[in-house]
Amino acid sequence: MKKLIIIIVAVALGYLINLKFVDIAYAMGFAELKKEAILINDQKMKVKCDSYAFGFFDEIKLENKFQQCINDYQAQGYVLLDAVPTDSDV
């Protein structure tokens, strides 16, 4: 019974420490960014542009690179089929 209580306390303590770490990391700018776009041309060929970063990163630089990928394919005749921006902070 004593071991069970120790395990429960350890898990609860670990959970609380993890929550505080996430709050501190978020306050310092630690984040996750994922964006994905699917483009298609008139021959039904699909291409994908994606951007992913985890940690400390320059969001503007990643966004510009992602948009440049889309622009390059659109210049070749591709049309944006689906765009999935999923920004989430840790």
Residue 50 CA to residue 29 CA, distance in Å, equals: 22
Rounded distance between C-alpha atoms, residue 41 and residue 18, angstroms: 46
Q: What whole-number percentage of the chain has pLDDT above 90?
A: 44
- The pLDDT confidence band at residue 1, using thresholds 50, 70 and 90, is confident
For residues 90 and 25, the model is more confident at 25
Residue ranges in 1-90 assigned as alpha helix (H): 2-27, 59-75
Using one digit for the tens of pLDDT, what is the confidence trace for 53-70? 887 788 889 899 999 999
pLDDT confidence of residue 8:
94
